[in-house]
Chains A and B, each alone.
Chain A
Amino acid sequence: MVETGGLSTFNIQHGYVEALVRGMRNSFVSDSDYHHLTQCDTLEDCKLNLTESDYGASLQNDSTLTPQDLQKAAVDKLAVEFQYLRSQAVAPLAQFLDFITHEYMIENIMMLLKGTMAGRDINELIAQAHPLGMFKESTMRSVVAFESNAKGYADLYQCVLVDTPVGAYFSKFLQESSQNVGAAGEIRNVLEETEIEIIKASLMKYYLEDFYAFCSSLGGDTATIMCEILSVRADTQAINVTLNSFGTPLNDPSMRSTDRRRLYPSVGFLYPAGTSMLAQASDEESLGQVCSLYPGYASAWACHVENDDRSIDDAFFERDAALHELAFESQMHFGCFYAYVKLKEQEIRNLVWITECVMQRQKEAVNQFIPLFSQHAPWRQKGGRR
């Protein structure tokens, strides 16, 4: 394992790339830009305001700006920036950046599988794929050719995915599910739609565990910062899996401690005590009880229960944004690369939200975005919600 280097040696290999990503940090939409955007009455005004920002160049071509166009342009811009960083990086940073893309690869595969099940056109699906997780065109086209059952997935792995970076996660999933056919296996075939979600959750679990192991092997500040971010991520995943399982066969008492439990990542602050409690949770109330034991998640859960205008996802996003901003507070580690991608994603969500609100004339909801690197961020307010 190549070391990342400490205070006095990090810059040998990674000084330039780190400075680049910190330069890109300047491109986040500022408070005043957000303020102007929220004041807009039409999408044309929005576009005019955005031309001043870093997105100006990428929005030039579209005559009218819809939230979808904006999202596509912004994601493409992020992908271009990321590719630039990737091309400047050497090991182990290059590996680290590749790890970031694996998540989007998993999402793309799942999107393709889900899309074909719904009978959608493959060209349309490929156009929708996230540019950070792109495979070769031939790979993407062949993903959809397999049946959505256990044998189909095994074939899919052997013919297509074995060569891709996410192949290892897929093979782990296949191994695990072949070991556990039995009573559960019969119910499995009934699931279909849920099946895709289960595959996705297990792939993400293996991905998080793998990424976590990689980051802790890097050591130093990278391990400290990334392991915290990934732990929180893993906990979010565990809580979401539990929450989404209610009302599905996964919440069945016989499956809770077997199938559902297997979807909880074996990293994170909840693991192992919290996840074993989660495995027993049968309804929202008992899930809430588990969350209330962990101060960080208790407040997020409160958002879910109180049912104000923020969902539990918003609470998680807000907490993630605060955590990711912290990665920029120290120098000479890899955390800021991950944080940059995630914060840009959040910014894209913000912009899409604002433009959607402007389009639908929902003026009162327009301010429900999460400001980034802002003095007005909720987590910087004294006594504000956390």
Chain B
Amino acid sequence: MSSDASGCQSAYCNQGWSEVLTHMSPYGWGSFGIAFGLGLSVVGAAWGIWLTGSSLVGAAVKAPRIRSKNLISVIFCEATAIYGVIMAIVLNGLMKKPEDSSYVDGVFSEGWDYNTWYFAGFGVFCSGLSVGLTNVASGISVGVAGSSCALADAQDPTLFVKILIVEIFASALGIFGIIVGIIQSNSSQFPDKLIN
């Protein structure tokens, strides 16, 4: 047992920030991953929807024909939230409760696969973060493009499809996130029983 700079000799003394990684339960990491993945995706989607929505409503005052067509922009933003929901379900499926035989009094027995356990915890956390952060970016950019799309469509209907393509590319950013997130989490299966 080494002592740190403050001279703490206790076995329970913190050794530094790196302990955040090792002392937090991988189940905790995994659950946070799901929370960030879903939460940030919804933030992105909501952000995009009000960016688009406020412009859409305003532009529809003078050009009512745009109102149904431009709901597509809102749906694109909504898709961002759906990516988050899909990812949350996938990630949740990876987290399993350990079998009763693998622990006694809340302490894992001999033979618990700590390495896989930690690997899975970090993996699920980070894939949640990948999805969440890309979806915030995607949601905002779809929202900005959607807002311009509504204004442009109100002026000149031929522009609608052209700007829609820009929106599709913005929306693709979120798809990149979810693809990488799924690949990242594939190997992050939580262990549920003791080795052999």
Contact = CB atoms under 8 A, between A and B. Distances in A.
Given A7-B144, A8-B144, A24 B62 contact: yes
Nearest to B144: A7
Contacts, number: 64
A11 B154 contact: no
Q: Which of B58, B140, B151 gathers the greatest number of chain A CB atoms within 10 Å? A: B58
Contacts of A145: none
A11 B59 contact: no
A330 to B, nearest CB: 10
Contact of B62 (A11, A12, A20, A331): A20
B58 A20 contact: yes
Interface in A1-38: 7-8, 11-12, 15-20, 22-27
Contacts of A19: 54-59, 61, 150-151, 154
Interface string B62-101: 1100000000000000000000000000000000000000
Interface string B161-182: 0000000000000000000000
Nearest to B48: A8
Contact of B151 (A7, A12, A17, A331): A331
Nearest to B47: A8
Contacts of B143: 8, 11
B63 A23 contact: yes
A15 B154 contact: no
Given A8-B51, A8-B140, A11-B50, A26 B58 contact: no
B155 A11 contact: no
Q: Which of B51, B140, B150, B154 gathers the greatest number of chain A CB atoms within 10 Å? A: B51
Given A22-B154, A331-B147, A15 B62 contact: no
B134 interface: no
A11 B140 CA distance: 12
A contact patch SS:
helix
A7 B57 CA distance: 18
B130 interface: no
Contacts of A20: 58-59, 61-62
B148 interface: yes
Contacts of A8: 47, 51, 140, 143-144
Contact of B147 (A11, A17, A26): A11
Interface in B18-75: 47, 50-51, 53-63
Nearest to A8: B140
A22 B144 contact: no
Given A8-B140, A15-B147, A331-B148, A23 B54 contact: no
A186 B143 CA distance: 64
Interface in A315-331: 331
B84 to A, nearest CB: 19
Contacts of A7: 144
Contacts of A25: 155
B155 A22 contact: yes
A11 B57 CA distance: 12
Interface string B145-160: 0011011001100000
Interface in B93-135: none
B58 A23 contact: yes
B40 to A, nearest CB: 15
B55 A11 contact: yes
A15 B155 CA distance: 16
A18 B61 CA distance: 12
Nearest to A27: B62
Contacts of B154: 19, 22-23, 26
Given A26-B154, A26-B155, A331-B151, A12 B58 contact: no
A7 B130 CA distance: 24
Contacts of B47: 8
A375 to B, nearest CB: 13
Contacts of A11: 50-51, 54-55, 143, 147
Given A8-B47, A331-B147, A331-B151, A23 B55 contact: no
Interface of A: 7-8, 11-12, 15-20, 22-27, 331
25 contacts: A8-B51, A8-B143, A8-B144, A11-B51, A11-B143, A12-B50, A15-B50, A15-B53, A15-B54, A16-B54, A16-B57, A16-B58, A18-B55, A19-B55, A19-B56, A19-B58, A19-B59, A19-B61, A20-B59, A20-B62, A22-B59, A22-B154, A23-B154, A331-B148, A331-B151
Interface of B: 47, 50-51, 53-63, 140, 143-144, 147-148, 150-151, 154-155
Given A11-B50, A19-B154, A27-B62, 18 more contacts: A8-B140, A11-B51, A12-B50, A15-B53, A15-B147, A16-B54, A16-B58, A19-B57, A19-B59, A19-B61, A19-B151, A20-B61, A20-B62, A23-B58, A23-B59, A23-B61, A23-B63, A26-B155
**Which 3 pairs of residues, A with B, have the shortest CB-CB distance?**
A19-B58, A23-B62, A15-B54
